[in-house]
Structure 1
């Protein structure tokens, strides 16, 4: 369905994409620092699901429609800014670190990672510019090729962002004596991501 030569070119490109520091990686870093490796992996899983949804939407043509409507782009962008600022505010208000092993932080991290990814309109534009370059209509159903490429991007991203979050989580215990340091560090990461998204331009 996907030409092996095309696939061989796509995988390194997908890895390079995921190794490039960005909002997703920083979000997993923040989750790892404050809530530990389990939350980091959960956030990475949510982000990967969001990436897969973006690619499938692109294959269905929905992302192209959103990208062509400036109003829709701005609505998605400001929803993302608001959500990240809410996370930053919540982190600052937190009185302490969530207990390790508690499933609640993992579920929250998964949902947060999914929403952060889905409300980043830059991902929509990137997917529209990146994935179609590797799609060959003569090779089979276009939607199936998008699904395969999306699974590769999501899988690579899950591993890369998860490992970054786990590494960040390893420094968490060193800061555990001052939980406010963790709270403010996490809040700073979320606020920085919100500022980055607020200054984002469509071009």
Structure 2
């Protein structure tokens, strides 16, 4: 077992959470939380097909846990899992094609909801490779399924990489900037957090 720090370069992980430390063993993520009042350990086994379960871990303000597996479930499709504080799976969001890498970055919003940034997502309906997507997810109920234009802000042109640039505003709303937008003009998109 190897202990992970908040930004553990050896394992290539960005750990952003309240636990004191996490341990990655095979495909089991162990979160250890300790403060002056209590200590707890949560064992979350990686789902079948996990490749890099625990690439990112975020504990939301309500205690739910977001775990990213960029390499899984197959061919770098990417998966974002939401678990309750006891480690029970609430939802799983995945990409639809190889190398979508859904969950490239997670942004926790002040509201407790979160954004799934997936700039490598392919918009197969538009025939656009690396069009990119940003998916808003409810931090309590999650979102199960495949990233699509129906549940995400998506690019429609080749290499637009929607989700590459996001700014979270002080009021909790957010701005998605897409400098590579296909019409040659950078296009900002504002949304409620």
TM-score range, shorter chain: under 0.3
Q: Which has the larger radius of gyration?
A: 1
Higher strand share: 2
Is the helix fraction higher in 1 or 2?
Answer: 1
Higher relative contact order (CA 8 A, sep 6+): 1
The two structures have a TM-score, normalised by structure 1, of 0.24
